[in-house]
Structure 1
Amino acid sequence: MGHREDLLEGAKRCLLQKGFMRTTARDVVKESGTNLASIGYHYGSKDALLAQAYVALVEDMADAFEGGEAAGLTTEPGSVERFREVWSNVIATMKEPGSPWRLSMEIIVIGDQMPELRDHLAKAQQEAGRGFIPLLMGGREEDVSGDELGTLGMFYVTLMTGLIAQWTFDPKTAPEADRLAEGLRRVIEAATGGGAP
């Protein structure tokens, strides 16, 4: 690995150990075995490096959202069953020891103090919405329209953010996927005149 990759891996470990606010450039350098100048050369700033490290941590969990490469999703795209299956997989990643999702709550709290980090991750959030659509509805990421991203994609990102908050704040009362799917069924019934929830 070169310095760029070493920095990214070191930053990922630092984030999981210390979070955004407590991780210093020197921490990353020590963890990666590189030097301070490498951060600026490869990433521009420590905040940009930490943002990319966070995105990489989230991407590392992408297989879990689909049930892992070997298992894959087994339900019909666009169905309530697919909704339950995907969110069950997502919630499982929130229960894992050392889950990086708590970092999302830190970003929300410190966003004003680290605007470069916030801006970089706001763009990554858009891409997360683009990834959720084919995962839940079928199709391909490259075919997701701007309108779909702004509506359906942001709906899923909002649900994800709420779940992260609940699982971080109080895991004992945070909803499991079955409860979310039942809530969705009731919303659909009410919206389509299929009966009161």
Structure 2
Amino acid sequence: MGHREDLLEGAKRCLLQKGFLRTTARDIVKESGTNLASIGYHYGSKDALLVQAYVELIEGVGETFDPGRSADAGAAAPPGSLERFQEVWAAIIRAVPESRAIWLLSFELLFQGDRLPEVRKLLAEAQVEGRRGILAMFNGVPESELGEESVDTEGRFYQTLLNGLMVQWLFDPDSATTAGQLTEGLRRVMSAAAPQG
């Protein structure tokens, strides 16, 4: 690996150990075995490097959510179905224990965003890609083929559910909503919204 990759991997480890606000450029240099000048040369700033590291951590977690990528992918329910809805949420919930530190980091950034305006801007841009990625898991359409309107509506819907679900699972896993409960809730909302005739 070169300095760029070493910095990125070191930044990921620092984020998981110390969080965003407490990680210094010197921490990253120490963890990566590089030098301070490398951060500016390759990423422009410590914050830009940490945002890139955070985005890669989230993307790595996101890859575990898709039931179509698992070993038993042949058993995945059809995209767009309620069964697929439940499968994806079950996969997300199963990933919580291993990804807890990353989700805690997400909420640190959420609550500190006003103190870090440049970081907030970079992360806001990354959220669009997050919506695109989560939507593809539910509807089975490749990310590159998703329409902007779908990403901006359905993608936002799934992202909102994801953020709310993570708050529950981080706060109190014993009382958090299960994939079955979430699916049954959606089924009831859809039934109530369906024209009666």
Range into which the TM-score falls when normalised by the shorter chain:
over 0.9
Matches within 5 A, 1:12-23: 12-23=12-23
1:127 is aligned to 129
2:71 is aligned to 70
Matches within 5 A, 1:146-157: 146-157=148-159
Q: Within the alignment, does 1:179 sit opposite 2:185 as a pair?
A: no
Across the aligned residues of Structure 1 and Structure 2, the Cα RMSD in angstroms comes to 1.7
Tell me which moved more, 95-104 or 31-40: 95-104
- C-alpha distance in 2 between matches for 1:191 and 1:164: 27
Q: Give the drift of 1:125.
A: 0.8
Q: Give the drift of 1:71.
A: 2.7
- C-alpha distance in 2 between matches for 1:99 and 1:79: 31
Structure 2 contact 87–179 (Cα < 8 Å) conserved: yes
- Runs of 4+ with >3 A deviation: none
**Paired residue for 1:91, among 90, 93, 106?**
93
SS at match of 1:65: coil
Tell me which moved more, 47-56 or 65-74: 65-74
2:169 is aligned to 167
Structure 1 contact 63–69 (Cα < 8 Å) conserved: no
SS at match of 1:139: coil
Q: Give the drift of 1:194.
A: 6.2
- C-alpha distance in 2 between matches for 1:120 and 1:194: 46
Q: Give the drift of 1:70.
A: 2.3
Structure 1 unmatched runs, 5+: none
Kindly indicate which of the two structures has a greater share of residues assigned to helix: 2
Structure 2 unmatched runs, 5+: none
Structure 1 contact 93–99 (Cα < 8 Å) conserved: no
**Number of residue pairs matched?**
195
Structure-2 change in CA distance of 1:70 and 1:104 (3 Å):
same
> Deviation per CA, 1:136-159, whole angstroms, max 9, x where unpaired?
011111111111111001111111
AA paired with 2:145? Answer: D
Structure 1 contact 6–32 (Cα < 8 Å) conserved: yes
Tell me which moved more, 180-189 or 68-77: 68-77
Structure-2 change in CA distance of 1:131 and 1:98 (3 Å):
closer
Task: Report the TM-score, using the length of structure 2 for normalisation.
Answer: 0.93
- C-alpha distance in 1 between matches for 2:189 and 2:46: 44
AA paired with 2:23? Answer: T
> Deviation per CA, 1:136-185, whole angstroms, max 9, x where unpaired?
01111111111111100111111111112222222221111111111111
Structure 1 contact 83–181 (Cα < 8 Å) conserved: yes
Q: Give the drift of 1:101.
A: 1.2
- C-alpha distance in 2 between matches for 1:57 and 1:107: 14
1:111 is aligned to 113
Task: Report the TM-score, using the length of structure 1 for normalisation.
Answer: 0.93
- C-alpha distance in 2 between matches for 1:53 and 1:19: 12
